[in-house]
Amino acid sequence: MYGNYLDDAAKIIAEKREENLKFEHARLTAEEKDDLLLKFHPDRIKEQFTELKIGPNKGQKAPIELAQMLQAKPRLEPEKIDLNHIDYESDVLVIGGGGAGTSAAIMASEAGAKVLLVTKLRVGDANTMMAEGGIQAADKPNDSPAQHYLDAFGGGHFDGKPELVYTLVNKAPSVIKWLNDLGVEFDKMPDGTMVTTHGGGTSRKRMHACKDYSGAEIMRTLRDETFNRADQITVVDFTAAIEIIKNEKGEAAGAVLMNIETGEIRIAKAKVVIIATGGAGRMHYQGFPTSNHYGATADGLVIAYRAGAKLLYQDSLQYHPTGAAYPTQILGKLVTEKVRSLGAKLINKDGEVYIHPLETRDVNASGIIREVREGRGVKNDVQDAVWLDTPMIDMIHGEGTILKSIPAMYNMFIKYGIDIRKEPILVYPTLHYQNGGVEIDKTCHTNVANLLVAGEASGGVHGTNRLMGNSLLDVVVFGREAGIEAGKMFKKIKLSKELSLQHVKDFEKERSAAKIKGNAVSPKVLPTYHHGNPEFEKEIPGATL
């Protein structure tokens, strides 16, 4: 039990559980959804955004925290970097070691490319590893990529780039087969048929999962395959890319790297550069907690932007509706949507089911924020929240379902004495996903020649809201597409003889002309939780105030 004043609050939920279990809340109308989002979604709070003064997206809005990084001082001084001293040379440079980066490296190596994969932490230290609920694919007889397209495009408020959504859904079945063949242990029936479930905003059961360790299982498999290709893929870890290098034609031709432990600078030269650096949760936009891994600091957006790459929907973030809100030790940790797809309902302090549990994520996040702001949230000393009534799951599907289907959730809470089989849990939105990013086409090209982007660092795939299960799909589909494209490109490109950081100098001039003030430097590389202690800077070269 909670063992405090929350026990009494939980009793209200227990008393109404049988009644609530039978109650089915109607889906909101389009008008009701729009009204809820307008009033309560964090992306609609105008004062939390600012206009970009420089760069390819000048005049557009961005979150205040991201704008600061996009327009901050470069971490390096170009005139002090010796571009003639090459430390690494490869056909394809992949920046990022998550699902997109490893998928890209695997496919590029399959095409015969010599690949250098650099990652600022370790391979697998990524949001991919932390994804839980599953991966979408329309591979059942009652479903189709066309139906998946309608769900994904509509769920993204019809803002997705059609060719990207088309690629996402049509490549999905073959990606599931590819992962399965590599060794991913998907949940299956005794006859080998893959188990599929619903997710928020899906009209068919197309969520493939590995219990609630889906991302970890996929990442394990991709990491193993990457290391199995050591003859063609060189991995350099604990190394961040802090600037793109161009050639005399203005094409991407490598990157300046920094060892995050020592601060040492290294130069990587390549024919093709793929950015797969993931998200930005550790920027803690608007002070929200996050479900993201430690390295999610929008680095890819910063270095691509400084190199001249356009961003798309950089003002759109996803706040996952169900982040853990109690106890403190797991604040912001993801409570997978699979919990709701199995039947757990969202309930306010009065014991009311106030919304359908499988509305899209932005709608459910806004609904929770509304309940809390209007006084129907559950007050506690960590984060005011609503209940997610997890005991309903075993009541619906039979005793043992929670332990079988969502063991990670059970294990996360039982450490703190909360048994989700018997007690509801407290949830509140957590900063979860970067909907926008670097604008790409269907083969991951940006407007900068020889610079590709894949995964969460890209923008346009999900529009301005992402459906559950389309992120793991995105990173593998477009990671593979980037690797396949790079595998074609490198054969036609010669390694550049002249390398340049002129674009960084030009950026500095632009900053000066726009009179941008402040001492912030970017990319951020690592988040800081030291509350302004400058001594911390001496300990971790990659950290920024």
List Cα–Cα distances, 526 to 126, 437, 538, in angstroms. 13, 19, 14
Q: Is 320 a catalytic residue?
A: yes
Question: Distance (Å, rounded) from C-alpha 287 to C-alpha 28?
Answer: 29
User: Which of the 8 DSSP states describes residue 91?
Assistant: E
Question: Distance (Å, rounded) from C-alpha 520 to C-alpha 429?
Answer: 28
Question: Distance (Å, rounded) from C-alpha 118 to C-alpha 249?
Answer: 25
| Distance between first and last Cα of the chain | 40
Q: At 66, is the secondary structure helix, strand, or coil?
A: helix
Q: Which of 501, 521, 454 is nearest to 244 (CA)?
A: 501
The 3-state secondary structure of 418-448, one letter per residue: CCCCCCCEEEEEEEEEECCEEECCCCCECCC
Residue from 41, 157, 206, 320 carrying the catalytic annotation: 320
Which helix (H) or strand (E) is 511 found in, with range? Answer: helix 502-513
Q: Provide Rg for the chain, Cα atoms.
A: 23
Decide: residue 449, CB within 10 A, 0-12 exposed, 13-18 middle, 19+ buried. middle
Which helix (H) or strand (E) is 521 found in, with range? Answer: strand 521-522
Question: Distance (Å, rounded) from C-alpha 372 to C-alpha 383?
Answer: 10
Q: Which of 213, 241, 275, 308 is nearest to 479 (CA)?
A: 275
Residue from 206, 340, 361, 480 carrying the catalytic annotation: 340
CA 218 from centre of chain: 15
Question: Distance (Å, rounded) from C-alpha 126 to C-alpha 103?
Answer: 13
394 touches 402 (CB < 8 A): yes
Which two three-digit tokens encode residue 196? 């599929």
Which helix (H) or strand (E) is 299 found in, with range? Answer: helix 299-306
**55 Rama class: left (phi>0) / alpha (psi -120 to 50) / beta:** left
CB neighbours (10 Å) of residue 82? 8
Which residues are within 8 A (CB) of 515 and not within 5 positions of it... i.e. 6 or more apart?
Answer: none
Q: Is 282 a catalytic residue?
A: no
Hey, which bits of 192-232 come out as E strands? Answer: 196-197, 207-208
Residues belonging to the active site: 320, 340
